[in-house]
Amino acid sequence: MNASRRLAQISSTLIRTQRFRPIINNPTAIPPLFKMASNMTAINSKDAAPPAGPYSHAIKTPHAIYCSGSIPVDAQGNMVEGTIQQKTEACIKNLAAVLKEAGSSIEKVVKVNIFLADMDNFAAMNEEYAKWFTHKPARSCVAVKTLPKNVDVELECIAMP
């Protein structure tokens, strides 16, 4: 008798004689956290420019609000001209409008991602940013080659509901 056949016979005997017991006796229910698709709500604010593509301003879940990137445009979608501070302010105002629509606020932001077309604007952007995010949420700031509509700055965030 070859080795693989002998192993199969031994395994079969162990299972039949109840010497083999499964590690998990009772199946475990899937926690509700893993069924998030049914708990997601798309958020779109009339006080922020309409999304420029096939996405929502934000997605709200029971545990967080995930805001899409905001570029310096007004509620009608017109580009905001001026300094990097003015453009940063426009981005933050858009995020604030979206968060308000979702039942949250800037004060509940836990993470911000900032995209700059030119890192020479970092200090000036920080001046405006610091006025709004006094609670100092976690943050990343990266330089990118190009942003949508060739803007200088884009911000996205995650907030608590």
For the beta sheet containing 109-116, the strands, ordered from the edge strand earlier in sequence to the opposite edge, are 41-43, 58-60, 65-70, 153-159, 109-116, 138-143
Mean pLDDT by 10 residues, the chain (161 residues): 66 56 55 64 95 95 98 95 98 98 99 99 99 99 96 99 97
Q: Is 96 within the bounds of a domain?
A: yes
Instruction: Give the Cα separation of 93 and 73 in Å (integer).
Output: 10
Instruction: Give the Cα separation of 29 and 157 in Å (integer).
Output: 33
Helix (H) / strand (E) element for 143: namely: strand 138-143
Instruction: Give the Cα separation of 34 and 54 in Å (integer).
Output: 25
Verify whether residue 157 is a known catalytic residue: no
**Phi–psi pair at 142, nearest 5 degrees:** -130, 150
| Other beta carbons less than 10 A from residue 120's beta carbon | 10
Q: Is 7 within the bounds of a domain?
A: no
- From first CA to last CA, the distance across the chain in angstroms is 66
**Phi–psi pair at 67, nearest 5 degrees:** -90, 135
Q: Which of 67, 91, 141, 157 is catalytic?
A: 141
pLDDT of residue 12: 62
Which residues span the domain enclosing 35? 29-159
Tokens representing residue 30 in the block: 């899937």
Q: Is 3 within the bounds of a domain?
A: no
What angle is formed at CA 62 by the lines to CA 37 and CA 111, rounded to 5 degrees?
105
Q: Which amino acid is at 117?
A: A
pLDDT of residue 56: 97
pLDDT of residue 153: 99
Q: Is 12 within the bounds of a domain?
A: no
Total domain count, the chain = 1
pLDDT of residue 2: 72
CATH of the domain at 139: 3.30.1330.40
Q: Is 129 within the bounds of a domain?
A: yes
* Residue closest to 79 by CA, chosen among 42, 52, 101: 52
pLDDT of residue 23: 54
Q: Is 57 within the bounds of a domain?
A: yes
Q: Is 8 within the bounds of a domain?
A: no
Q: Is 122 within the bounds of a domain?
A: yes
